[in-house]
Amino acid sequence: MAAGSFRRSIASQLSKVLDLPPENLIKSISAVPVSKKRHVADFQFSIASIIENSSSDCLTQDLHLQAQQLAERLKCDSVVSGISAGPGTVNFTINRELLAKTVLQQVWKDGSEYGVKSELFSTVPRQKAVIEFSSPNIAKKFHIGHLRSTIVGNFIANLKVALGHEVVRINYLGDWGMQFGLLGVGFQSFGNKEKLKSSPLQHLFEVYVQINKAAEDENTKQLAKDFFRKLEEHDEQTLSIWKQFRDLSIEEYIRIYERLGVHFDEYSGESFYQERAQEVLKMLEDKGLLQKTIKGTGVVDLSEQKDLSTVSTVMRSDGTSLYITRDLAAAIDRMNKHSWDTMIYVTDKSQSNHFQHLFRILKLMGYDWAERCQHVSFGLVQGMKTRRGEVIFLEDVLNEVRSRMLQNMTSTKTTKEIQDPVETAEKVGLAALIIQDFRGLLSSDYQFSWDRALQSRGDTGVFLQYTHARLHSLEQVHGNAELTDVNVACLQEPDAISVLQHLLRYDEVLYRSSQDLQPKHIVSYLLTLSHLAAVAHKTLPVKGSAPDVAQARLCLFHAARSVLASGMKLLGITPVTQM
């Protein structure tokens, strides 16, 4: 990794002066973010990182002084061309030609693995992660929370795979419960087999809405209960109706997920854990954790004082299981089946309490691995409506973003030359959705705006796609860059240096996202890269330049496009080559 070789070189010099092992210093040496001031150093070393137990009163002044003293003891060499002291930091400027040569060579050599091969990840053990995400309910609205869960879960899975971890992607469907009693009865009254085959999600939802209107009727309620009881008793005819609902829904989901560029290794669901949930209740009883209330429900006491001030209900009064009981059974089953190192649940933050209870009950049952379970929560999205009104299905969102994007593209001059404008519009539109969603902290709520998401300028997914397509066409027009004989002395302009400095930081940004699982670090990095590349594209023309200058610039733009494409793919975006 380019940044790695420079960090090691700086660490080796610091280690001699500070008498500390270089490996202890590497994490404290970071690439400096590109600034509008220009002429900033490339790396900085934080003094605070080597001072233990310092009191903050006299610290700031001490740090300044210590930074100056340390800077005076260090010498420039063939790698470092400038050393200066900043507020609590020692700043290092890398030899400009070496910077260009090393960064370009590394991007060229590592290709899509640039950044992930960094020594920052060398101490991170390769693990097996189970990630449960998306998880819609059959016959109910695929609401916007499911879309967030889908794209966030996909990002986490992509990032983990890129970093060499093994990932199992699970879609845990809401495919059981009393709604199937209603649905079964509803289908007998309002169902249509042809519609069920052609658009199962839409048709089952329509049936569910119609039967819900009639659900106040005592007779309908009783019929629904009877249907669900038969389902629980494994009545063949009832089960085959339920299975048809489930199988056709999954087929349609798979097709829609393909449009999103998302896949799952396993379609699981609550139905898998009906009987195992009963085994969990038996285990809780055997361990003395299941307590009965006056109403006859089963609870687990989660309070510190064991005074029932915090309880989790795990059983209905009729002895049947609840959602959390099935989740307990699923967690235990997944550990037995996959022997995972970490399990991540991606849902909205309203379920935080549910997961706290789930992990605490598992711990009380003696499963220490519960500490390796994690809930990645996200905030709510307000205001996502299609032209036809409220969003009910994921497909509505995808069709809407595609048609709006197609309209925007048709009004620009270049679109007429695109080979497949509809597919391009879908990919660009998806990028717009994903970037709008990922720009802030996942836990924040935000107000959705089609106009803001689909702007072609500013910090949007459309701008990222436009930059990628533009850099790609530059390579198409001028031929692919060749690194073998690049004259790096031709890349000394401030705008070229800014791009190179920014490319240096990519591994740190990936490392940060891998630690907190927040995509916003990568989004912010890619937007800055696109802005820097856009400026360089204007000020450093390839066309009309001397051959060695043109070749060097082409290499620079190739490196920027390569890293941009890799980052976009991690976020779940397919880069387009025409726009």
CA 349 – CA 326 distance, rounded (Å) = 20
Q: Given the DSSP bridges, would you call strands 43-46 and 89-94 parallel, antiparallel or unpaired?
A: antiparallel
| Rounded Cα–Cα distance for residues 484 and 465 (Å) | 29
Which one of 101, 143, 427, 472 is the catalytic residue?
Answer: 143
Q: Please confirm, yes or no, whether 146 is among the known catalytic residues.
A: yes
Residue of 207, 213, 201, 206 lying closest to 174 (CA atoms): 201
Nearest Cα neighbor of 159 from 520, 493, 501 is 520
Q: Dig out the tokens for 289 from the structure.
A: 């954790």
Angle at 316 between CA 310 and CA 321, to 5 degrees: 100
Q: Strands, DSSP E only, in 230-305?
A: 266-269, 290-292, 298-301
* Residues 361 and 290 sit within 8 Å (Cβ to Cβ): no
199 vs 253: CA distance, rounded Å: 11
Query: Which residues, in sequence order, are bridge partners of residue 381?
Result: 446
What is the full per-residue pLDDT of the chain (579 aa) written as tens digits? Answer: 678 899 999 999 999 999 999 988 988 999 999 977 667 899 999 998 887 644 445 566 688 888 999 999 999 999 999 999 998 999 999 999 999 999 999 999 999 999 999 989 988 899 999 999 999 988 777 777 788 999 999 999 999 999 999 999 999 999 988 889 999 999 998 999 999 999 888 899 889 988 988 877 888 889 998 998 899 889 999 999 999 999 988 988 998 899 999 999 999 999 999 889 999 999 999 999 999 999 999 999 999 888 888 999 999 898 888 999 999 999 999 999 999 999 999 999 999 999 999 999 999 999 999 999 999 999 988 877 666 666 667 788 888 889 988 888 887 765 557 888 899 999 999 999 999 999 999 999 988 888 888 888 889 999 999 999 999 999 999 877 677 778 999 999 999 999 999 999 999 999 999 999 999 999 999 999 999 999 999 999 999 999 999 999 999 999 999 999 999 999 999 999 998
Out of 64, 117, 128, 140, the active site residue is: 140
Active site residue 140: yes
Question: Looking at 101, 146, 160, 230, which residue is catalytic?
Answer: 146
Q: What is the pTM of this model?
A: 0.93
Q: What is the pLDDT of residue 55?
A: 47
The pLDDT assigned to 350 comes to 94
Which residue, 308, 349, 298, is CA-closest to 328? 298
Given the DSSP bridges, would you call strands 446-447 and 381-382 parallel, antiparallel or unpaired?
A: parallel
